[in-house]
Chains A and B, each alone.
Chain A
Amino acid sequence: MARVLKSLAIISICALGMTACAKTDEPGGAQTPGQQTGPVKIGISLPLTGDFSEPGKGIQEGYQVWADQVNAKGGLLGRKVELIFRDDASDPNRVSSDYESLITQDKVNLVFGPFSSRLVIPAAKVAESYNMVFVEPAGAAKEVFEQGFKRLFYAAPAIASDHYNYLADYILKLPADQKPKTAAYASLDDPFAQGTAYGLRDKLAAAGIKTVVDEVYPPETTDFAPIAAKIAAAKPDIVVGGTQFEDSVGLVRALQELKVQPKLAAFSTGPTLAEFPTAVKGAAEHIISPVGWSATATFTGNQDMVKRYKEMFGGEANEDAANGYTVGQIVEAAVSAVKCVDPTPECQNKLADHIRQGTFDTVVGPLSFDDQGRPEQAHMIQQYVDGKVQIVLPESAKTADIVYPKKEW
């Protein structure tokens, strides 16, 4: 038995360290000793393997499209851009050491952020300690902005708790006879996913819409039927999920199986991915999600980005790629404005000051930031209407009318 216990101990240790087993470094190309004349090196660690590998790769592609376009235009301040990628395997410890070595050993000029709030916080701590500007594509949880970072900026329209703002406004303006009275919330135990659901919950609860289920499930959850059973028993008017992909599919399927028929069903990430409609087999119709980017939007550079993405990677660009690209657009604008791109505190401070004060035209719309680096805009709201993803809110960006109440699934 002692041997078995030992084995189990080893399994746990291995499980903790498992992500340390796959690493795909891409060393930078030949380096010119004089930094001023060589390429502008940008250090990036991304979860290219592990739990966040899918969005991590999307962000990487967005960065690559941006670098490709900048280089085609002659580079940053006349110097070619070279991206140096590390794979942190979705591991918060690896992400710290990656940025540490990118800054101290590769001597990069700039760093761009990783994916997920869980990796952004440790990464930003390192960047901050070397006075580097840290524009990141995917750290939307409110905790990210509570760490006192001075050089962190989140390059998307809104932080997690503001994702559902347009939907909250819509619901609260419904005529009294249509307005939902009860709501059920189920959320993944993850600062981002939870943040989105709670942002909506707090606004609706303050307006008198009763919270009848408020369930948080750990990432290991594989079975969503009992959660759906709880929701079924409460018979809520609306169901809101703070979700990533697997759990959004699990929840939708379980709600469908347990015959829960809410008037409105909203899930954060998941329905925004192309695989979603197939995975839920016909149940996607009228599901709502907040979305930070749309392929059809005409914001600065968006159509060029979509086109170039297709040429480089063969598929359709997604929100992750757009967020990566947005980081590039903001940093590019700042570098062009302050005319320096060195890792020195003077230059990095100038860049940070510029980003804090400016408004930037990007593929996700004009972006500006508050003192904590939070973007000051809001997410659009998408809905599956007749099998297609349509933007339904806000009025100014909509491609179709919102359908409420939703049809039965």
Chain B
Amino acid sequence: MSLLLQGLALGVLTGGLYALLASGLSLYFGVMRVVMVAHPAFLFLGAYLTYTVHTVFGLDPFLALPVTVPLFFVLGVAVQRLLIARLAPENLAMMSVLLTFGIALTIEGLLGTFYTGSYKSVSMDYATRSLTIAGVHLPYDKIIAFWVAAITLIVLFAVLVKSRFGQSLRATIQHREAARLVGIHTERVAGYGFGVGLATAAVGGTVLALITPFFPASHWVWIGKLMAIIVVGGLGSVIGAALAAVLLGVVEGLVLVTVDATWATMMFYVFLFLTLLARPQGFFGGRLAHRF
């Protein structure tokens, strides 16, 4: 029983992290119908920048965020304007996969050149202990990851729901043509949307740096998991992705403690297949897809 509780607790915490990592991916698809294969590569670019800030200046990894978040926002706008916006709209989903695949390889190559292929890690003393409640251990690094994810997602939702930019963004997601007709600069909004997506990757990268060692090719492991999350959650629905992330995190944690690790990893794809068979728009796709 306590093992189940432990698995459940770890699953919820990990699910929160997954939600953060997948949120950007969901946003790109929601705003622009762009499948952004390079998102995990940007996550690890964020992890490497965090590593640099931490090792060169001796600062806490989270102090990298004031540098990396605005940097990634600008980078996102630039990538959207210079590359994504040039893709033919009729074939956007497919072409964006190929284009962003190239971007991912480029980032991997650059990371290999600048940082070599050896493993880097950012280990903090405060992240190696755990909080024990009623026999259930909650590792601090996972608690931190969960709260950083939660705060980032709350900020993201607040921006999307409350701000004028968020309204334009949602209007663009709901109906691009209509939004354009009522005077929204959909292209500009798309650029900012991409920027916001990459800004979440900066935060995700810092959290990843704290919990796992990484090398330039580390991002490939994540793309399948994150894609599964956003498809299960309903493509384009940020809330759907967040809920699916927690759901899959919990299922993964429980399967891991009750069955084994191979099945736990497979659960992502089992859910992906079941979702595509039973509800191709995703769990939260139909009703929530355009409402966050």
| A→B interface (CB under 8 Å) | 1, 3-8, 10-11, 14-15, 18, 21-22, 49-51, 53-54, 57, 189, 215-223, 225-227, 229-230, 232-233, 245-246, 249-250, 253-254, 256-259, 273, 275, 278-283
- Can you spell out 26 A-B residue pairs with CB atoms less than 8 angstroms apart? A8-B227, A10-B94, A10-B98, A11-B35, A11-B227, A15-B224, A18-B220, A49-B112, A217-B261, A218-B261, A223-B10, A223-B252, A226-B10, A226-B11, A226-B261, A230-B257, A233-B3, A233-B257, A245-B119, A254-B139, A256-B128, A257-B129, A257-B141, A278-B123, A279-B121, A279-B123
Give Cα distance in the complex from A49 to B141, angstroms: 30
- Say how far A289's CB is from chain B's closest CB, in angstroms: 16
- Say how far B230's CB is from chain A's closest CB, in angstroms: 10
Segment at the interface with A among B166-174, B187-195, B199-207, B209-217 = B209-217
Tally A-B pairs: CB < 8 A: 167
Query: Which of chain B's residues has its CB closest to A223's CB?
Result: B14
Give Cα distance in the complex from A15 to B223, angstroms: 9
A222 touches B222 (CB 8 A): yes
Q: Mark B95-132, 1 if CB is under 8 A from A, else 0.
A: 01110010001000100100001111101110111101
Q: A22-B109, A53-B117 are in contact. List 9 more A-B contacts (CB 8 A).
A: A8-B227, A223-B10, A223-B14, A226-B253, A259-B132, A273-B119, A275-B121, A275-B213, A281-B125
Query: Which of chain B's residues has its CB closest to A258's CB?
Result: B137
Give Cα distance in the complex from A146 to B244, angstroms: 44
Is B6 positioned at the interface, with any CB of A under 8 Å from its CB?
yes
Give the contacting residue for B123; candidates A220, A273, A280; CB below 8 A: A280
Q: Which residues of the other chain, B, contact A258 by a CB distance below 8 angstroms? A: 6, 130, 137, 139
- Say how far A403's CB is from chain B's closest CB, in angstroms: 21
Give Cα distance in the complex from A217 to B140, angstroms: 23
Among B3, B109, B213: residue with most chain A CB under 10 A: B213
Give Cα distance in the complex from A282 to B11, angstroms: 26
Give Cα distance in the complex from A15 to B127, angstroms: 32
| B→A interface (CB under 8 Å) | 2-3, 6-7, 10-11, 14, 35, 37, 93-94, 96-98, 101, 105, 109, 112, 117-121, 123-125, 127-130, 132, 137, 139-142, 212-213, 215-218, 220-225, 227, 231, 235, 252-253, 256-257, 260-262, 264-265, 276, 280-281
Secondary structure type dominating chain B contacts? helix
Give Cα distance in the complex from A180 to B260, angstroms: 25
Give Cα distance in the complex from A1 to B231, angstroms: 10
Q: Which residues of the other chain, A, contact B225 by a CB distance below 8 angstroms? A: 220, 222
Closest 9 CB pairs of A and B: A217-B261, A281-B123, A226-B256, A257-B139, A279-B121, A53-B117, A257-B130, A229-B6, A3-B93
Among A22, A222, A232, A280: residue with most chain B CB under 10 A: A222
